[in-house]
Amino acid sequence: MTVEASFKILNRLGLHARPAALFVKTCRKFKSKIVIFKGDRMADAKNILQVLALDVNQGDEIKVVIEGEDEKEAYMEIENLIKKVLPEVDRG
């Protein structure tokens, strides 16, 4: 089975520098394959250079596709990261 979800990036810095590193670090905790899409471009969510190359900014919509044995857990943690943790990083 595969889990797919779209998210609007809320945090001011998008997926650049520290937020991108946190995103990749979170994705690397899981065995599942995780890919993110911005428009027609895609990146391995566990590869910092690919994530940075997507140039994801505040207000952009990304699609996350997760496939593997721990996909549900990965989805829940990624959703929490994008909706709650990264916006808090902006305030810190």
Render pLDDT for 41-80 as a digit per residue (tens, 0 to 9).
Answer: 999 999 999 999 999 999 999 999 999 999 999 999 999 9
Burial of 89 (0-12, 13-18, 19+ CB in 10 A): middle
Domain ranges of the chain: 2-91
**Is 79 among the residues known to form the active site?**
no
Give residue 86's pLDDT band: very low, low, confident or very high (50, 70, 90): very high
pTM assigned to the model: 0.94
The chain-wide mean pLDDT, for the chain, equals: 96
Query: In the predicted model, is pLDDT for residue 92 greater than 70?
Result: no
Q: Which of 3, 10, 12, 16 is catalytic?
A: 16
Specify the DSSP element, H or E, that contains 77.
helix 71-80
The CATH number, out of the four listed (1.10.510.10, 3.40.50.10310, 3.30.1340.10, 3.40.50.300), of the domain defined by the range 2-91: 3.30.1340.10
